[in-house]
């Protein structure tokens, strides 16, 4: 019995060491990110990684607000010409790209310079689609530092020349669950990239981010935006995601 306990203890320690080493490895990619605008090289496009606008228990999600702040700062500083907002599009009532785009427009970023990626179900999906769907081989990732490190790891290992612009951090005790989840997310990202060659849930036709037309202004003066990526991506992804959730018995 004691021998079994020793073996289990050894395996537990070995697992802990493995998690620690992999986290340090991925976190090392934070060297490609910064919170200082002047340290960034200008790029054509930025990738804004999505999150929920509101917390589950109610109230504003500071992760979201600070990412929107960072995206606005980056655009106003002339560091990027286009912003791809990428996130989950789970139901008609939960749509991260739509909310991010609306909030950026409200802050003065032109609608034609914001492209929506409705299939950013995971960080890996967002980063790989940035290259494979939107044709970007380099750019700037926008998120909090711990998240940027993982996104930069995925992107650079996929051959995308990425920089990271760090959104403001939230207090350490703000979301303990998020911090704990990130520990395991970094480990999973290594398996996805190094061992499993995991592909995004959804790919599809390529999208020219420079082909987004300016909003049309009808007679009543209300702007109506026509964006190719919304016509192509949103309905199909939403329907497929709904079907996936029904099969899994998990409909939000």
Which is nearest to 141 in space by CA: 34, 25, 62?
A: 34
183 within domain boundaries = no
CA–CA distance, 11 with 167 (Å, rounded to integer):
37
Q: How many domains does the chain have?
A: 1
**64 found inside a domain:** yes
C-alpha 252/C-alpha 245 separation (Å) is 8
In a domain, 61, yes or no: yes
The domain that holds 111 is classified in CATH as: 3.40.50
Whether 234 is covered by a domain: the verdict is: yes
pLDDT value at residue 177: 86
Asked whether residue 108 is assigned to any structural domain, the reply reads yes
Does residue 175 form part of some domain?
no
Question: Which residue range forms the structural domain that includes residue 57?
Answer: 32-170+191-248
Query: What does DSSP say about strands 114-117 and 82-86: parallel, antiparallel, or unpaired?
Result: parallel
Question: What is the residue-level pLDDT of the chain in tens, covering all 252 positions?
Answer: 888 888 999 999 999 999 999 999 999 999 999 999 999 999 999 999 999 999 988 899 999 999 999 999 999 999 999 999 999 988 888 999 999 999 999 999 999 999 999 999 999 999 999 999 999 999 999 999 999 999 999 999 999 999 999 999 998 777 788 889 999 999 999 999 999 999 999 999 999 999 866 654 444 434 334 444 444 344 344 444 444 434 333 323
5 located within any domain: no
- Put simply, whether the predicted model's pTM sits higher than 0.75 gets the answer yes
According to the model, what pLDDT value does residue 245 have?
38
Neighbours of 39 (CB within 10 A): 10
Task: Specify if 7 maps to a domain.
Answer: no
């Amino acid at each position: 019995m004691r021998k079994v306990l020793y073996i289990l203890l050894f395996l537990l320690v070995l697992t802990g060491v493995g998690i620690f080493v992999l986290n340090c490895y991925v976190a090392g990619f934070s060297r490609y990110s910064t919170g200082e605008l002047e340290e960034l090289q200008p790029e054509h496009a930025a990738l804004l990684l999505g999150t929920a606008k509101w917390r589950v228990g109610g109230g504003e999600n500071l992760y979201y607000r600070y990412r929107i702040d960072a995206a606005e700062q980056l655009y106003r500083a002339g560091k990027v010409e286009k912003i791809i907002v990428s996130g989950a599009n789970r139901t008609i009532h939960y749509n991260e790209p739509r909310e991010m785009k609306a909030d950026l427009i409200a802050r003065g970023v032109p609608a034609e310079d914001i492209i929506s990626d409705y299939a950013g179900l995971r960080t890996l999906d967002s980063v790989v689609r940035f290259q494979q769907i939107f044709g970007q081989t380099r750019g700037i990732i926008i998120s909090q530092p711990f998240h940027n490190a993982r996104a930069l790891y995925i992107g650079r290992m996929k051959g995308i020349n990425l920089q990271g612009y760090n959104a403001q951090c939230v207090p350490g005790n703000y979301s303990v669950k998020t911090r704990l989840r990130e520990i395991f997310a970094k480990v999973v990202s290594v398996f996805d990239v190094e061992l499993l060659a995991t592909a995004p849930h959804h790919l599809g036709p390529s999208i020219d981010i420079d082909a987004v037309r300016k909003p049309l202004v009808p007679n009543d003066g209300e702007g109506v935006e026509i964006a190719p990526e919304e016509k192509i991506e949103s309905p199909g992804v939403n329907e497929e995601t709904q079907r996936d959730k029904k099969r899994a018995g998990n409909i939000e």
